[in-house]
Amino acid sequence: MDMRLDLQVDLTPISAFLSDSCSNLPEVFVDGVTIFGHRLFGLPPEEPTYMCNWDLSVGAIAGECSFEFLQTSVFALKAFGFSIQDIENVLPLPVETLVHDVTFVRLSIASIRLWLHTNGSSVFRLATNKICFILNDLADDIHSERITLKIPGLNITVMDLQRQNAWSTKGYLETEVNVAMLNRTYRASNSRRLQQKHIRDSDRRTERAKFLLSNGENESRGSDIIGGPRPASMALPGLPIPLHGLFFLPMIS
């Protein structure tokens, strides 16, 4: 029986450049990437996931790239995405059962400092401070999903090379971006009830994620499973309770 999955991937600093460019100096440099994932699995035989936690940390992104490099990178990403799922040639898949699990995603980028040279004499400069993105689809009485995005110190500059190697600023924008999206799906109350039931039934053996249940669901209640599940044979540590309940937990009074 699978109870959990822990994944951590650490990537060393990444450099990218075009092989046919005049210089082999990196046009984009990323100061490391760290990916951490933690998943909890429910009862056999299907053992569906009932909690997923993903943390992605990207180091500082810097570079001075050409328009050809940007265009080639976009084409490469499109080709990679197209090759992942060949929907046109695969066999029909069986209808998948909808699993009402909980997903937490946190993404942070240390900073961005990028220069983009166009085909002409203009240069674009993009700079930001630390970027934070948080997704939480643990439903509460009001919201089904919460997303926050913070981009402090956003700076976009357009410069043009004049005669005698003198630069002139053609455009300048400096601002901060704070986005908060609160979503309520169709039949949100029923979806929340199914999500709470899925967490309660799947977590009965280990009781690692009791804080995901609201006050009403956290009380001792019966289960639809005949006879009830057996206690876990291996003791597992509980999940750390998030410090910022506003972003990760429903508003429980």
* The pLDDT of residue 198: 92
Confidence class for position 235, pLDDT limits 50, 70, 90: low
Domain count across the chain: 1
In 144-204, DSSP assigns E strands to 145-161, 167-183
Residue 8 pLDDT = 92
For residue 52, tell me if it sits in a domain.
Answer: yes
193-209: average pLDDT = 88
Token pair, residue 66, equals: 């050409």
Mean pLDDT, range 45-73, rounded to an integer: 90
CA dist 35 and 206 (Å) reads 25
- Domain range for 108 is 4-78+93-187
Assigned domain for 243 exists: no
**Residue 17 domain-assigned?**
yes
Q: DSSP class of residue 163? A: G
72: its two tokens: 């080639």
pLDDT interval class at 105 (50, 70, 90)? very high
Going by pLDDT thresholds of 50, 70 and 90, the confidence category of residue 220 is very low
How many other C-beta atoms are found inside a 10 Å radius of the C-beta of residue 92?
5
Say which DSSP state 195 is in: H
| pLDDT of 106 higher than 80 | yes
pLDDT, average across residues 139-160: 93
Span 139-166, average pLDDT: 88
Residue 246 predicted with pLDDT over 50: no
Per-residue pLDDT at 134 = 94
pTM metric for this prediction: 0.80
At 243, the pLDDT band (50, 70, 90 cuts) reads low
pLDDT greater at residue 9 or residue 87:
9
pLDDT band for position 251 (cuts 50, 70, 90): very low
Instruction: Determine the average pLDDT of the residues in 47-52.
Output: 90
- More confident call, 107 vs 250: 107
Q: Are strands 102-109 and 49-58 parallel, antiparallel or unpaired?
A: parallel
- 169 lies in some domain: yes
Which of 5, 42, 49, 2 lies closest to 205 in space, CA to CA? 42
The chain-wide mean pLDDT, for the chain, equals: 82
Examine residue 232 and state whether it is found in any structural domain, yes or no. Answer: no
Do the domain assignments include residue 180? yes
Q: Does any domain span residue 87?
A: no
The percent of residues above 90 in pLDDT, for the chain, comes to: 43
In a domain, 49, yes or no: yes
